């Protein structure tokens, strides 16, 4: 018997997206100080946007709106993937940190894609 989803907080994808945000904050704390308003800030905003869009979409209470916001979260995940690659190429992240973070992001992205597919394409 599956648990009833009462709010976005019950969604595993939202929980993982919040964990991803925490991970991105920890990683970007190690970036050079000069990046505080650059790549660091962009990565943090993209990560937060994933969880925030899941929450906002779920709060709208329609399949169409939820799907729309899941698409936005998926777009933010792609943005973060690009930023992680740039951070790696700038040597702000080592291969291990990049690989682990990218793997976690990939898991969240796959969950988002599965939810979008399940809801049906609405935008």
Terminal CA-to-CA distance of the chain, rounded, Å? 31
Averaged pLDDT, 1-30: 89
Averaged pLDDT, 5-17: 91
CATH of domain 9-25+34-119: 1.20.1440.60
Per-residue confidence (pLDDT) for residue 1, from 0 to 100: 34
- Read off the pLDDT band of 6 (50, 70, 90): confident
State how far the Cα of 68 lies from the Cα of 98, in Å rounded to an integer.
29
- The helix-helix angle for 95-119 and 39-59 (nearest 10°) equals 20
Q: Taking the domains of the chain in order of start, what are their residue ranges?
A: 9-25+34-119
Averaged pLDDT, 105-109: 98
Per-residue confidence (pLDDT) for residue 120, from 0 to 100: 83
Tell me the per-residue pLDDT of 58-71, one tens digit each, with 9 for 90 and over. Answer: 998 899 999 999 99
State how far the Cα of 113 lies from the Cα of 52, in Å rounded to an integer.
16
Among 36, 29, 46, residue whose Cα is nearest residue 80: 46
User: In angstroms, what CA-CA distances link 37 with 19, 52, 86?
Assistant: 22, 21, 15
Per-residue confidence (pLDDT) for residue 61, from 0 to 100: 81
């Amino acid at each position: 018997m599956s648990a009833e989803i009462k709010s976005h907080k019950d969604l595993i994808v939202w929980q993982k997206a919040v964990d991803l945000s925490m991970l991105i904050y920890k990683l970007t704390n190690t970036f050079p100080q000069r990046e505080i308003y650059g790549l660091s800030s962009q990565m943090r905003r993209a990560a937060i946007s994933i969880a925030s869009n899941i929450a906002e979409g779920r709060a709208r209470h329609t399949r169409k709106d939820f799907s729309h916001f899941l698409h936005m979260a998926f777009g933010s995940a792609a943005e973060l993937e690009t930023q992680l690659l740039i951070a790696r190429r700038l040597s702000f992240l080592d291969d291990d940190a990049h690989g682990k973070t990218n793997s976690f992001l990939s898991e969240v992205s796959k969950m988002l894609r599965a939810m979008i597919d399940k809801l049906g394409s609405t935008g």
